[in-house]
Amino acid sequence: MSETWIVGINPVEGALANDPDRVREVMVERGSRNARVTAIAELARKLKIVVKEASKEALERAGGEERHQGAIALYDTPPLFTENELPDLIEKAGGGALFLVLDGVTDPHNLGACLRSAAAAKVTAVIVPKDRAVGLTPTVRRASAGGADLVPLVAATNLARTLRELKDAGVWLTGLAGDTDQSIYAMDLKGPIALVLGSEGEGMRRLTRETCDFVAKIPMPGSMESLNVSVATGIVLFEALRQRGGK
């Protein structure tokens, strides 16, 4: 287990709300008049968490390059989930299992935004390849706006094997790519499914794509050929949610 600083108002609020047992201390800017910073300090004290007041410069040194907004928190970073924990996640989710697989998304802002959408859509788990995963860094947590504390992030040692295990467990895999005629809006996204997206530049890796049961695209009648992966993630997740009746 390692410690890291969670930086910024939204990430600190998310950690206190969703995972307070891992918050070791909270540091707030001395003399801050920000009502949310004051509320963070009050909540931390109610939770019996150490609260320290420090200068703006001290917060900047501890928090690094991220903009702290007057609040940071020292956090025990939990280990990422592994593929060994997927059977339990599948069993608990049952027919409503909804997985998001990100093959090659290494930008922390994109990963954080994807986790935010995944949390909003009540995704069962987000799966990434271990050798191409950025991890739950402070930047990821900030971009996720608390979503990183709500959705299991699974780092798969062998992504293709993990996808095959999902299929063996009855989960249908739909990959996204632009070079296909099949529209995502014509797909049946009900039941246990996994939505698979690659990076903006390269898309899904060959073996990942070959493992998918279906490949579909987001129709784009305009002049752009692709979308940011976090935008595409939001679109496909909420299309699945719409088909499931918003549940």
* Domains contained in the chain, CATH given: 2-77 (3.30.1330.30), 83-243 (3.40.1280.10)
pLDDT bin (cut points 50, 70, 90) of residue 27 is very high
pTM: predicted TM-score of the whole model, two decimal places: 0.82
The SS3 assignment for 179 reads coil
Distance (Å, rounded) from C-alpha 219 to C-alpha 225?
10
CB neighbourhood size of 38 (10 A): 14
Q: Which residues pair with 7 in a beta bridge?
A: 72
**Pairing label, strands 98-103, 153-156:** unpaired
Q: 139-181: per-residue pLDDT in tens?
A: 787 788 778 888 999 999 999 999 999 999 999 999 999 888 8
What is the mean pLDDT of the segment spanning 84-99?
Answer: 92
Average pLDDT estimate for 7-30: 90
pLDDT for the residue numbered 1: 52
Two structure tokens written together for 55: 């200068």
